[in-house]
Amino acid sequence: MGTPLVLGFSNEDKVGTVQPHDDTLVVTLRIEGYDVRRVMVDEGSAAEVMYPDLYRRLNLEPQDLTVYHSPLVSFEGRSVIPMGLIRLLVQTGSNVVEVDFIVVDAFSPYTAILGRPWLHTLGAVSSTLYQKVKNLSRGQVLEILGNQSMAGQCLIMAIQHRPEMETSATAETGL
């Protein structure tokens, strides 16, 4: 019997990352057979969320959604009523996990957010410091690498985004 594998991080895991940083963990994942960029992994999130850009690119239709009524809070601090819920397959290496995405029509620099439910189902651990997600699969530790450049692009998109209310108020006041 071999040594049991342990999911953890060491200084070796920082190789290839720009340090120091405070970047979010942004990865590319295979969702419903498509490579999807700008997926934020957020262990602070109790839900998986999908935004309109990805919803449209996956050619999903309103009839594909099931009803979901609980409001969420957008990045802009507004309460958002979800369009609905959809279960999709998310693949990481050889692992395929069914994920219930709450679809919301709100601005986000990300295409989707995967949180604790996905991490726990996969048996994975994530680290923004090390810019990785690790999970065990078939006797191996698999890694999903974060993309710090993409995280920076998402941050710029978020900073440059001007909510409709702010934009029209600014135009009216001339500020």
The mean of the pLDDT values for the chain is 89
Domains (range + CATH), the chain: 19-166 (2.40.70.10)
| pLDDT interval class at 168 (50, 70, 90) | very low
The structure tokens listed for 16 are: 């290839």
The full DSSP string for 138-162 is: TTEEEEEE--HHHHHHHHHHHHH--
Q: 0.75 cut: is pTM over it?
A: yes
| pLDDT interval class at 166 (50, 70, 90) | very low
pLDDT single digits (tens) 54-93: 999 999 999 999 999 888 876 667 788 899 999 999 999 8
DSSP class of residue 106 equals S
